[in-house]
Amino acid sequence: MAVDLATKSLLHDKLRFFITVSGVAFAVTLVFVQVGLFLGLMDNASLTIGQIDADLWVTSHNTPNVDFAHVFPETYVKRVRSIPGVEKADNLIVWFMNVNLPNGAVEGTEVYALEDFARWNFPHGVIEGNTSDLRRGPYFVLDDSAKKRWGAFGVGDYREILGRRLKIIGRTVNAKSFTTTPLTFMDFRLAQSVSESQLRGNTTYILVKLAPGADAVKIREEIRRRLPYNDVYTKSEWAQRSRSYWIDSTGLGLNMYITVFLGCLVGIVVVAQTLYTSTMEHLKEFGTVKAIGGGNRDIYLILGKQATIAAIAGFVLGALMAYAIAPAMAKIDLKLIIPTQFFAIVFVGSIVLCLSAAMISFRKVASIDPALVFRG
């Protein structure tokens, strides 16, 4: 065991250590929160695509994302169903409709309409009622996120959607879209009749489930041949397209990159500044290390270790802060998604960032004249 000058020296000045760690923690928290929020929003952008058990999605031509759908004839589904290798294919309507609330306000809802929700294992998170009852009458199921904009509601209440009085027969949780408009689930035919002028005889998507072992590429090509004025996407392509639309059109991606960059920049500046000031204040000590026979390498190891300790402590503090913030974010319907791999990336990034910051001090140390130890 050798005497750990790096750690002892770093912890000797507790205020400076705290400032250094705070700089890293700030950067780490910012990165986690920004990226977590971004991933949360992106998850919302393709949440329903992920939940619906379809292998292929047929959309109208150039539909930019799952929310902004356009209509095409519902009979197209028959052309898809007749393709060998297609296990099942159904129409899906995704459509924005206005809701008249009891207080006289008008709000929007994003309607998902299917003939048989259970067939597509959708929606997830039904906490009250049963989607199979939707076919029995003018009913709908509403996600709990609507409470924020629509006010309190319960099963058995009525709401007026596009002038039609419909009964709430169930509730879901965690059904969300990027637009933050509350999601409503209703029978396919009911949706067509509620928005008759636009949806009568039409659909907005065809969901396709392939038979086990079916050749997805061939079936996709066949759908394209039979429906030349529609687009066909795999589940992952469609999810990616929906996410990309929001990233590109809202500048969300650029905003995230800029914030993450600024967070890292602030972190690196704070760490570099505190390490450099510390190095300047300890020049005589480093000169002493050289005078007693140490080399630049010994001092680089001290600075490198100090930077690594600051990185690890800052990472832990920053990660804890991000986790502490997550419940508060959830209360305002903001989801923070931090994948495990991202933890590893930020951890390594923190160390790289701190070691980079220490490089400025390395340069200073390399030029130390050990003769300075003789100066009073």
Partner 1 sequence: MILQTKNIQKQFTEGRETFTVLKGIDFSADRGEIVSLEGPSGSGKTTFLSILGCILTPTTGEVRIDGEVVDARKLAEIRKRSLGFVFQQFNLFPSLTAVENVEYALNVKGVRGREAQVEAERVIEAVGLADRKNFLPRDLSGGQKQRIAIARALAGNAPILLADEPTANLDSVVGTQVLELFRDLAKKENRALVIVTHDPKVRSIADRVVKIHDGLLAA
**CB nearer partner 1, residue 300 or residue 342:** 300
Cα–Cα distances (Å) from 294 to 78, 246, 370, in that order, read 82, 57, 10
- Residue from 127, 211, 292, 366 that binds partner 1 (CB under 8 A)? 292
Instruction: Give the footprint of partner 1 on residues 331-370 (CB under 8 A).
Output: 370
Sign of CA dihedral 94, 95, 96, 100: negative
**CB nearer partner 1, residue 171 or residue 290:** 290
For residues 361 and 10, give the distance between their C-alpha atoms in angstroms, rounded to a whole number. 14
Position 374 contacts partner 1 (CB under 8 A): yes
The count of residues interacting with partner 1 (CB under 8 A) is: 25
Position 5 contacts partner 1 (CB under 8 A): yes
| String of DSSP letters for 168-213 | EEEEESS---TT-PPEEEEEHHHHHHHTHHHHTTEESEEEEEEPTT
CA angle (203 as vertex; 83, 229 as ends), nearest 5:
60
On whether the CB atoms of residues 53 and 209 are closer than 8 A, the answer is yes
- Residue from 71, 101, 214, 291 that binds partner 1 (CB under 8 A)? 291
Position 1 contacts partner 1 (CB under 8 A): yes
- Residue from 285, 325, 337, 362 that binds partner 1 (CB under 8 A)? 285
The residue among 101, 98, 123, 135 whose CA lies nearest residue 173 is 123
Q: How far is the CB of 9 from partner 1 (least distance, A)?
A: 4
For residues 366 and 287, give the distance between their C-alpha atoms in angstroms, rounded to a whole number. 10
Q: At what angle do helices 296-331 and 283-291 cross, to 10 degrees?
A: 140
- What tokens were used for 220? 């996709």
Bridge-partner residues for 231, per DSSP?
A: 59
- Residue from 127, 284, 330, 333 that binds partner 1 (CB under 8 A)? 284
**CB nearer partner 1, residue 11 or residue 348:** 11
Position 100 contacts partner 1 (CB under 8 A): no
Position 83 contacts partner 1 (CB under 8 A): no
For residues 109 and 98, give the distance between their C-alpha atoms in angstroms, rounded to a whole number. 6
Q: How far is the CB of 298 from partner 1 (least distance, A)?
A: 6
Position 289 contacts partner 1 (CB under 8 A): yes
Position 295 contacts partner 1 (CB under 8 A): yes
- What tokens were used for 9? 């020296």
Position 18 contacts partner 1 (CB under 8 A): no
Position 92 contacts partner 1 (CB under 8 A): no
Position 11 contacts partner 1 (CB under 8 A): yes
Position 16 contacts partner 1 (CB under 8 A): no
Which residues lie closer than 8 Å to 374 by C-beta, 6 or more apart?
none
Q: How far is the CB of 332 from partner 1 (least distance, A)?
A: 45
Position 229 contacts partner 1 (CB under 8 A): no
For residues 271 and 67, give the distance between their C-alpha atoms in angstroms, rounded to a whole number. 44
Residues that bind partner 1 (CB under 8 A): 1-3, 5, 8-9, 11-12, 284-285, 287-295, 298, 370-371, 373-374, 376
